[in-house]
Amino acid sequence: MAFEHERETMVAQQLAARGIRDVRVLDAVRAVPRHAFVPPAVATHAYDDMPLPIGEDQTISQPYMVALMSEALGLGSGAPRVLEVGTGSGYQAAVLAAMGVRVISLERIPALALRARGVLAQLGFADRVRVIEADGSLGWPDEAPYDGILVAAAAPELPRPLLSQLGVGRALVVPIGRADRQLLVRVRRDAEGLREDYLGECRFVKLRGEHGWKEPDR
């Protein structure tokens, strides 16, 4: 299988060595071909420890960040349903799907949504991932409540509509902060209210939309 050795090395050196312990996450990242989600020009770097450009001024996240966010959701067994905000390349959704998760994924850029649908279908994930063109900062209330919400773009503050779509006892994982640097935040919703955990610094592209960044880039 193409890049099989590179994936094994990535999982061992970039994920397990940095503390990713969830076996489902490790197995999913090992199984999903990251090179299928990047442009051919950068495919040889698909398993490097870095984000990569995917066009439309967007990126595919660093493999460690994909694994960390997947693990941070704390998903149980069965077939949990997760809302993903920011489909991008479709790689994060594919990793979740490989974990047995059903994913509703929102993408505001039509070209990326179309491309992600195609790659996910080619890899056999079309039955587990639904990609919708929409303002992700508003969430997707039609399928709420969710067993987890993962935001793969940086918000200036916590997008409130997403909290109302999160199931009780579940987690929302989102980068929050300035345009150039954020903190990865996990918000758990329980019967007593909300609890926040901070999972480290990160850097994502901006979350655009009604409850995200509104001004144009300069």
Tell me the two tokens of residue 40: 């051919």
Average pLDDT over residues 190-216: 88
Query: What letter does residue 15 receive in the DSSP assignment?
Result: I
Domains and CATH numbers, the chain: 4-202 (3.40.50.150)
In the prediction, which pLDDT does 218 show?
A: 42
Contact between 136 and 106 (Cβ < 8 Å): yes
Average pLDDT over residues 155-184: 94
Q: Structure pTM?
A: 0.94
Which residue intervals of the chain are DSSP H helices?
A: 4-10, 23-31, 63-72, 91-98, 110-122, 160-164
Judged against a pLDDT cut of 50, whether residue 195 lies above it is answered with yes
In the prediction, which pLDDT does 214 show?
A: 78
Collect all residues with Cβ–Cβ distance below 8 Å to 55 and sequence separation of at least 6: 39, 111, 112
List the catalytic residues.
Answer: 61
Mean pLDDT of the residues in the chain: 94
Percent of the chain with pLDDT over 70: 98
Judged against a pLDDT cut of 70, whether residue 215 lies above it is answered with no
Average pLDDT over residues 137-145: 96
pLDDT-derived band at 189, boundaries 50, 70, 90: confident
Q: Using one digit for the tens of pLDDT, what is the confidence trace for 67-126?
A: 999 999 999 877 799 999 999 999 999 999 999 999 999 999 999 999 999 999 999 999
Contact between 139 and 81 (Cβ < 8 Å): no
